[in-house]
Chain A
Amino acid sequence: MTKLTEIRILPPLAIARLGDAAEPVNNYDLEVSANHPLGFRAIIEAPTLVIDEETGAIAARECRPVTFKDPDGRIRPVAPFLELWGRTGPGDDDWRHLTMHDLQGATIRWRATVGNIKVFRRTGDVHDKVEATTGWFSAHARMPLEGRADNFLAGKHIPLGDVRYIRPTEQFPQIRVRYTPAHGYVYGSSTFVKKADGTYASDALGYLQADANLRDVVYDSSKGRWLGFNEPIPPNTPFLPTLTIPPQIFAGQAGPNNGDWISSGYLDDECDGMIEVELDIGGTTLRSFARLGAGPPAFAPDSYPIRTVYDELEQALLGPTVDPAQYTDDELQADAEEILRRAFETVRLMNTTIMNGNAYDGKLDIGSTMVRQDCNDAARAWETIMAPTIVDNLAVQSLHQNIVAVLRSGAPPWFTSTLRKFDEIGDLTDLGRRKMPGMMRNADGRYLCLTRRQYEKIRLAATRFVSRAATKETP
C-alpha cells in the first residue's frame, strides 16, 4: 500500500444506548414507503456483526431478527462499532476502511476516555467529576471503563461500559473497535433513604428504609455534598444564572423553603468522551480520535426527531445558508420532505390537545406546555396556542400530510411563511406562537425553530417551481 498520509475514526460521533441485555440490538435499516411518505418507516433486518466473546473476532456477518428487548424484558444496548479509515492522497475519494494487511509492520494502540460530570455541573466540586479511561491498549480483550471520582468511597466505581479492539481476521480483516455502553443502573450516596430534612426514612416496622433504587452506593457523603445538596430557585432565593436550564433536574425532594430542591444523591451511568488511536507506521505516528456517548434508548426506533445533532453539526460545518446550485431539485425535495417527515413523526407521538393547553376534564394547566412556560416566564396571557377545536392529533397529522402534498405538487407553498425563524422566538403574539414547528420547546426555552439551514432547504424546495432567484431571503 502507498504510504498513509492521514487516518480517521468513523463515525466521528457514535451514539451508544444503554441496556442490560447480554446481546446488543441487531442491525436494521429504516425504509420509507414510496407510496406512503408519511407512513411508519419499516424496520428491515440488516447485516449484524456477531462478535465471538472469547476471541474478540467477528464470528459472523448476517441478518438477524430485530428485537429491542430480550426474552427476559431487558433492553438490548446499542453498541456501535468505530472503524479506522485512512487515505494515501489528498483527495476526498481516497478514503478507505483500513485492514490488517494495510497495517503490516505497524503498531496500533487505542485509548478511550469518558466522563460523567453531572454532579460537578451542580455542585462545582471538581472532586465530583466521574472519569474513566482504558489507558492505551492494543489487545483484543474488553477494556472496562470504570468511572471513579475523588468523592467516591474507596474502591467503588460506576461501570461506564467497555471498549474492545475487534480482532481482525482473514475473513474480516478491517480495523475497528466497539464501544459497549453501561447497563442503565442508578447509583447513590446512602444505603438508606434520606429525607429532605436530613433524617432517615423508616418503614412500617420502624426499621431504616433501604434504598432499593440503587445498584450500589458509590458516593462518599462524608467527602462530598451531593447527598442533600440544595439547588434553590425563587421565590425565596434569587435566580442564580449558573444553574442548568431548566434547573433542578436531578432526583430529589422539595425542601423546607419554597423553591428548595434537595438531592437524593443519585448518579447514573450515562457518559460521553472520546476514543483515540495512534498508528506507528512507516517511521511516523498518525493520530486521530472520535467522539462517543452513551444515553437512553430511542424508544420509538422507527421515528426520528425534527432537529438533531447532525443538523447542528452540518450547519456549523457548511453554514446557515444553502447554495441552490449545490443541490438538485430532487435532493432539495428529499431533504425538505425528510424534515417534514420528522416533524410528523414527533407530532404523531404527542398528545397535541394537551400540548396546546386545552382543558382536560375541565381543568387547565395540566402539563408542562409552552402555554404554561409563556405564562411563567413572561407573564403572558394564558391562552391556548391554536384554537382548541383543531388540534386533535389526527387533525394535526392531516395538516402535515397536506404540507407534504403541497411540497410534492408544486402548488403555491402557503406554509413557508408559517415557519418560525430563529430570531422570532420573542414573538409571543397569537400569530407568533402559531408558527411551526408548533407547541415544542427550543434550545433557548422558547418555541422550537429549525436550524437556519433546515429552514432554507424547505424554503428552496417549496419555491423551486416558482423561481429560486426571486425568492432570495435571509433564513
Chain B
Amino acid sequence: MTRPTPKNRTAKQLLHRADGNPPSSLPDSAISNCYPGLEFDFRNIWRRIFVGIELHEADCYVTQVNDDTLTRLLHCRLLKVDGHDMTTVLRGPRVAGGPTVDLATPTNPDAAWFMEWSNSLSRVHDKAGTKVTCVFTAEPSNIERRPDWPHTQVAELEIRSLFEQGTPVIARDLVAPGDLTQSLCSPWQNDYRECACYYWASSRPDFVDVEAGPDGLSAGFNWMDRQLDANAPLAKREYLPDPRPRTPTDPVWITYDELFQHWQKLLRFIVGGKSQD
C-alpha cells in the first residue's frame, strides 16, 4: 500500500492505523481544502493560533478578542505576520484577450484576496511560544485589504503551537469540541446537491461509469443521476449537468428531500470507477 512517508515518530503516529481500522479512518483520507459537505472544515484549526484573538476560519478578519489590551484589533484585518503577507492582489483580464489589470470590484475595491492560513502560517509555526509582529488594518474593515494597505497598526502576538507539546495531537486550547465541523453545511446532505461544484470528487464523486465512447471522448454519468448504470451501453451514457433553476421534483437528479430521507440507498459507492451498491 502506498502512503506518504512521515519522517519522524511523531509524524508517523498521525498515520497510525489501529488494528482493525480501515484506511478511510485516517487523516489522509479526509480533504483539507474545504468543501461544505466534508468530515471537517480543517481551516478551523488556525482560528486561535494567536494568543488573545480569534480569527475567521477562512479570512484574515478578527472575529473576537479575548485580551482587554487587544480590543483595538476587533474586526480589523491581519495583513502581515512576521513580515509575511497574508493577502494578495487579484490580477487578470477584464475582457477576453485584454490586458492584465487589478481585478477590483465595487465590493472589493482593493482587488485584495486572503491567502489560506495553512500555507501562509506554516512559515511561522516553528516560532510557537514566542511573539511575532503582526500588522493589522488600523480600523475595523469589512473589506479585504492589500498587504501594503497604508493605514495599519501593529501588535506583538504570541503564536500557539498547533499540537500538544511533543505529540501529534491538535492542542486542547486550539480547538473545542464541534469547532472542526462548525462551518460545514447543516445538514451535510444538503451540500451534496447544493454545491454543484465537484472539486472534492474523490470523496463525493461527480463523473462515474466513465469509458471511452464511440467518438473517443469520455462517456459516463453524473453521480447524482438516479438512472446511472455501470452496465449501460456507451451510447446511453450521458452526463447531465445539475439543472438550474432547480425543481423539487426533478425527474433525473436525486432531490434534496430524497437526500435527507434516503441518501444511504440512493448514493452509490464508486469502486474501480464503477457505481455499485
Contact flags (1/0) for A83-120 with B, using CB distance below 8 Å? 10000000011010000000000000000011111111
**Interface residue from A117, A272, A300, A427 paired with B205 (Cβ < 8 Å):** A300
Q: B23 to A28, Cβ gap below 8 A? A: yes
Q: Which of A11, A272, A354 contacts B177 (CB 8 A)?
A: A272
- Could you say which of B2, B34, B116, B218 contacts A334, with CB atoms under 8 Å apart? B2
Q: A241-B59, A305-B203, A313-B168 are in contact. Are A186 and B260 (CB under 8 A)?
A: yes
A300-327: which residues lie under 8 A (CB-CB) from chain B? 300-320, 326-327
- Digit string of A42-70 for contact with B (CB within 8 Å is 1, else 0)? 01001111000000000001000000110
Interface size on A, residues (CB 8 A): 169
A366-B241 in contact (CB<8A): yes
Cross-chain contact B42 with A309 (CB below 8 angstroms): yes
The interface-forming segment of B65-73, B150-158, B191-199, B228-236 is: B191-199
- The answer to whether A446 and B113 touch across the interface, beta carbons within 8 angstroms, is yes
Which residues from B are CB-within-8-Å of A16? 25
Which residues of B sit under 8 angstroms from A346, Cβ to Cβ?
Answer: 199-202
Residues of chain B contacted by A290 (CB below 8 angstroms): 169
Question: Given the complex, which residues of B lie within 8 Å of A464, measured CB to CB?
Answer: none
Inter-subunit contact B172/A289 (CB<8 Å): yes
**A368 an interface residue at 8 Å Cβ cutoff?**
yes
Residues of B within 8 A of A345 (CB): 202
* B residues in contact with A214, CB < 8 Å: 260
Please report the C-alpha to C-alpha distance between residue A420 and residue B113 in the assembled complex, in whole angstroms: 16
- Shortest CB distance A210–B (Å): 12
Q: Is A130 a contact of B241 with CB atoms below 8 Å?
A: no
Tell me the smallest distance from the CB of B25 to a CB of chain A, in Å.
4
Give which listed residue, A15, A267, A289, contacts B169 with CB less than 8 A: A289
* A136 in contact (CB, < 8 A): no
Interface presence of A355 (CB below 8 A): yes
Q: Is A296's CB under 8 angstroms from B202's CB?
A: no
A to B contact number (C-beta, < 8 Å): 509
| Interfacial residues of chain B within 207-263, with CB under 8 A of chain A in the complex | 207-208, 210, 212, 216-218, 220, 222-223, 239, 241-242, 244, 256-257, 260-261, 263
**Complex contact A326–B7 (CB within 8 A):** yes
Partner-A contacts on B (CB < 8 A): 1-11, 13-40, 42-43, 45, 56-59, 61, 63, 75, 85, 88-98, 100, 103, 105, 107-108, 111, 113-120, 122-123, 125-126, 142, 162-164, 167-170, 172, 175-191, 194-208, 210, 212, 216-218, 220, 222-223, 239, 241-242, 244, 256-257, 260-261, 263-265, 267-273, 277
| Contact of A281 with B by CB under 8 A | no
Are A426 and B90 in contact, with the CB atoms below 8 A? yes
A301-B24 contact, Cβ under 8 Å, with A238-B142, A242-B61:
yes
Kindly state the separation between the CA atoms of A345 and B210 in the bound complex, as whole angstroms. 13
* Per-position 1/0 for A387-430, Cβ under 8 A of B: 00000111000000000000000000000000000110111111
- By a CB distance below 8 angstroms, the chain A residues around B125 are 316, 319
Cβ-closest chain B residue relative to A346: B202
